[in-house]
Amino acid sequence: MVSEIESELKCELWKVPWLPNFYAIPPEVQIAGSKAYQQGKIYGIDAASGAAILALDVQPGDHVLDLCAAPACRTMLQKYSLGDRSRLFVANGTFFSILPSNSSLGSIEESTGIKDNGSIFSEWTSKRSWKERQKSKKAKAAGSPHPPSTSEPELIYYGKDSGLVGVRKCDVLCPSADVDACTSGYDKVLVDAECTHDGSIKHIQKFEFWGWETMDRRVLDAQRIDNLLHLQLRLLINGFRLLKTGGSLVYSTCSLTVAQNEDVIRQFLLKYPSAELQSVDGADSWPCRSGSIQKTLRFDPGTSQTSGLFVAKLIKLPS
């Protein structure tokens, strides 16, 4: 397959020695118009972002939560045939509380108010029911096309092997208690938090189109940064809450600032003594440097020949 892709792209694919199954291409090569991309054989991503996933060390059978998944995630899951074991929710990541399995199914109606009307999940279809379409119309007519941040998550995709087919909806869509997460939570959690993107080369290049005069508003605005710092900490707290005891969480951003990275980790560790920073296996051979907190990692264009990325890996200890 590699030789076929090289022939189509008219360039050589170089193996990235420190990142399994990753290949590098010259920056001027565009892949979006290629058959290999359109057919789901290749995908473009910065090598540093791949390192964050490698740091998570996902193993067969793991329940994994990506708390800040991209809006186009459903299209990607289907295009790359990765959706069979996936569930995709639209939700506020600071409030999301659905576990991969629930240990309190017997008391759902009493504890959450979710009624069991006998509704179960059938195999996924992209066609919405008449009832769902009417509900959406009413929401738009009321001037609220998007659900409030604290409303229940909206399930917008699930695969045939995701464990939902044949299960009662009230058993899946109920919020979880913290005590449930310790035993029935996720094995791995990724919190690739929203940030100012000041370390992303592709993002900074967009200012050629947006206008460099917009950088103050988009990146340097003090109020926006304060809001982001608050959001980042809340995302990290909720992601850790949904992690099972012994599980691992990776916090990452593509910002180069200390405030959005080490400072967030410091605040979090002060609040949660059951969290402990963990070294990333194999990172000694990565082209990155240590952050200002031991065991954290930093990628940057000068050191790594990648975009900027901060990576911190945490483990959840018994409380």
Catalytic residue among 174, 182, 195, 254: 254
- Which CA distances in Å does 1 have to 7, 26, 32, 56, 194? 10, 19, 17, 27, 35
- Which CA distances in Å does 60 have to 63, 64, 121, 249? 9, 10, 25, 17
**Who contacts 138 (Cβ-Cβ below 8 Å, separation ≥6)?**
none
The yes-or-no answer on residue 73 being catalytic is no
* Residue 317 burial (CB count, 10 A): 12
Question: Strand ranges (DSSP E) for the chain?
Answer: 14-15, 23-24, 64-66, 87-90, 154-158, 186-192, 243-253, 275-277, 289-290, 297-299, 309-316
* Residue 289 burial (CB count, 10 A): 13
**Who contacts 244 (Cβ-Cβ below 8 Å, separation ≥6)?**
181, 182, 183, 184, 185, 186, 187, 316
- Say what the alpha-carbon torsion angle 55, 61, 62, 66 is, to the nearest 10 degrees: 90
> Which neighbouring-strand residues pair with 90?
154
Q: Taking Cα atoms as reference points, which of 303, 292, 290 lies closest to residue 259?
A: 292
> Which neighbouring-strand residues pair with 297?
290, 311
Instruction: State the sign of the Cα–Cα–Cα–Cα dihedral 205, 211, 214, 218.
Output: negative
Q: Is 192 known as a binding-site position? A: yes
> Which neighbouring-strand residues pair with 314?
249, 277
Q: What is the DSSP string of 62-85?
A: --EEETT--TTHHHHHHHTT--TT
Which residues carry out catalysis?
Answer: 254
Q: Can you say which residues are annotated as belonging to the binding site for S-adenosyl-L-methionine?
A: 192
Binding residue ranges: 192
